[in-house]
Amino acid sequence: MTTEVPSRTRIPVHPDAAEFLGRDHQLFINGEWTTPRDGGMSVSLDPGSGEQIATFAVGGKQDAHRAVAAAVAAFEPDAPWRVMSAASRARLLFALADLMEEHQEELAHIEALDSGKPLAVARDFDVAYAIRHVRYFAGWTNKIEGATIPVDVPDMMCRTERTPVGVAALIVPWNYPILIACWKLAPALAAGCTTVLKPAEQTSLSVLRLAELISDAGFPPGVVNILPGSGSELGPVLVEHPEVEKISFTGSTRVGEEIARRAATGIKRVTLELGGKSANIIFADANLDHAIEGAAAAIFSNTGQMCSAGSRLYVERPILDTVLARLKEHTKTIVVGHQLDEDTQMGPLISKSQMTTVCNYLDRAASDGARTVVGGNPHTDHDGIFLEPTVLTDVNDDDAIVREEVFGPVLVVLPFDELDEVARRANDSEYGLAAGIWTRDIAKANRLSNLLRVGSVYINTYGQSDAAAPFGGFKKSGYGRDMGRQNLEYFLETRTVWTDLRL
């Protein structure tokens, strides 16, 4: 396993990233870098080494009010952002995407160091897809149209207009910091909203660099405000603020429920992307080379810290032993290490507390009778927060390890016999985010897909993502969708205008 890798080549930190990390980082409010009124300072750690990599300001409640006030002022009818043509808004978004591309390597280094994901993943997935999102929504900006409605009322003209919902609070988690920020910022800005973005305190750095690029691109002050800080302190202020009209949140189901409750009081528009416990289902007729690789990637990418992780693997009984043996072999080859080591395939967990959570699940699974097929041990040959990629079996449908989101590199493998049975068991979850199906029989795959109560189904693949394809959940995985044309809708209101043509 990874202990056999004696020494690693560490990629040096990109000089621009090193320079950025060494600088002072304040709050980005109303187009300026400003010291907190009632917040303070926080530090960012490299989870791969435990070392401090940067310090940055965190906002307090007064700062949250200042950030919302800036977004409100930027949304006034005569403010530059509001009088700007849609095509000009598009040009700003395209300019931002170009700047992000120019600084892709630097952004990737910042993101990898702060979040623990392997550098190549940060560059070629997180930052690359963030850029694609900005471009995709830039393209929509001047294609948001109303309609003329053929009403059954004489002499009346009726038309609809699409208008931005107003000030949007965007609250994002630590697992895909810049990417999820752009999932929300890009459609909000395309729609013409103004925004306050609260990153997760553990991973605020990449969006602070993004704020500088937003400034360089020429967005008017107050259109994007970036407010690092504690969610439990700033979240309620943002969610309950009477002038915040829309909340787009990605994070845990627990916090999502709290946001929904608070937002109900002000009749706020809310989009929630929450947790998951997604089923990945392999039939005996699947291409096993693809299925094994896909099943491993579905749970070990991003060290399992993915809302859509394929964390429950259902295997048709005749191939159970084969799949377990091949998964074991495959998992043993995964190189765990520091995110800037050249050959690292799986980086650290985000924090010690996340490690404790995951290890508690492993202990509980063991006492519930689970058998470890491979992995399960924290890594001791590295500094930082490392856990071996882990596969468990001999688990029951009611075990916590099968029902609850672990958010770590832990896969449970369960046998099944029939399509209807596996559909029922896959659906027997409070979550409904995603599912994978592996079979050469496309009719069977689609029959099963129809039965699954989830927001995304991946057939002979897993975890695909594209700026144009909506993503989100059923049930306690949330409501609304990120990405795609659909997410634009959540930042728009429809105004219906009637005109009496006789006057």
Per-residue three-class SS string for 123-167:
HHHHHHHHHHHHHHHHHHHHHCCCCEECCCCCCEEEEEEEEECCE
Q: In the bound complex, what is the minimum distance in angstroms from residue 256's beta carbon to ligand NAP? A: 7
Whether 423 and 442 have beta carbons less than 8 Å apart is answered as no
Residue 255 CB, nearest approach to Mg ion (Å):
19
Least spacing, CB of residue 120 vs ligand NAP, in Å: 20
Residue 48 as a binder of ligand NAP (CB under 6 A): the answer is no
Task: Classify residue 57 as exposed, middle or buried by CB count within 10 Å of its CB (0-12, 13-18, 19+).
Answer: buried
Q: Is 177 in the site for ligand NAP (CB under 6 A)?
A: no
Of the candidate spans 17-25, 97-105, 196-204, 263-271, the one that interacts with ligand NAP by CB under 6 A turns out to be 196-204
Q: Which of residues 267-326 bind ligand NAP (CB under 6 A)?
A: 273-276, 307
> CB of residue 205 vs Mg ion: minimum separation in angstroms?
7
Q: Which stretch binds ligand NAP (CB under 6 A): 281-289, 335-343, 470-478, 484-492?
A: 470-478
**β-strand partners of 34:** 27
Shortest Cβ 76–ligand NAP spacing (Å): 26
Q: Which of 106, 111, 245, 273 is catalytic?
A: 273
**How many other C-beta atoms lie within 10 A of the C-beta of residue 151?**
12
Give whichever of 68 and 346 is closer to Mg ion, judged by the CB atom. Answer: 346
Binding mask 431-460 for ligand NAP (x = CB under 6 A): --x---------------------------
Beta-sheet strand order (sheet of 194-198): 32-34, 27-29, 224-226, 194-198, 167-171, 246-250, 269-273, 478-479
Q: Which two tokens stand for residue 284?
A: 């005996």
Strands (E), 258-329: 269-273, 279-282, 312-316
In 330-486, DSSP assigns E strands to 371-374, 390-393, 410-416, 431-432, 434-438, 456-459, 474-475, 478-479
Find which of ligand NAP, Mg ion, none residue 173 binds, CB within 5 to 8 Å per kind.
Answer: ligand NAP
Report the residue from 258, 293, 368, 430 that binds ligand NAP according to the rule CB under 6 A.
Answer: 258
Element (H, E) at 178: helix 177-191
Q: Residue 232 burial (CB < 10 Å; 0-12/13-18/19+)? A: exposed
**Please, which residue, 433 or 467, has the CB nearer to ligand NAP?**
433
Site membership for ligand NAP, residue 171 (CB under 6 A): yes
Instruction: Say if strands 492-500 and 156-164 run parallel, antiparallel, or are unpaired.
Output: antiparallel
How far is it, in rounded angstroms, from Cα 340 to Cα 264?
44
Least Å distance between CB 401 and ligand NAP?
A: 16
- How do strand 224-226 and strand 456-459 relate by DSSP bridges? unpaired
Pairing of strands 246-250, 167-171: parallel
Least Cβ distance, residue 44 to Mg ion (angstroms): 4
Nearest CB to ligand NAP, comparing residues 173 and 187:
173
The residues in 227-256 that bind ligand NAP, with binding defined as CB under 6 A, are 230-232, 235-236, 250-252, 255
Nearest to 202 by CA among 127, 116, 109, 301: 116
The answer to whether residue 273 is catalytic is: yes
| Minimum distance of ligand NAP from residue 139's CB (angstroms) | 23
395 touches, from ligand NAP, Mg ion, none (C-beta below 5 to 8 Å by class): none
Nearer of residues 186 and 373 to ligand NAP, judged by Cβ: 186
Q: Which does 273 bind (CB under 5 to 8 A by kind): Mg ion, ligand NAP, none?
A: ligand NAP
Subset of 111-170 contacting ligand NAP (CB under 6 A): none
114 binds, among ligand NAP, Mg ion, none (CB under 5 to 8 A by kind): Mg ion
Nearer of residues 433 and 437 to ligand NAP, judged by Cβ: 433
Which is nearer to ligand NAP, 21 or 274 (by Cβ)? 274
Tokens of 413: 């493998």
Are 476 and 470 spatial neighbours (Cβ–Cβ below 8 Å)?
no
CB atoms within 10 A of CB 143: 11
Instruction: List the catalytic residues.
Output: 273
Point out which residues bind ligand NAP (CB under 6 A): 171-175, 198, 200-201, 230-232, 235-236, 250-252, 255, 258-259, 273-276, 307, 405, 407, 433, 473, 477-478
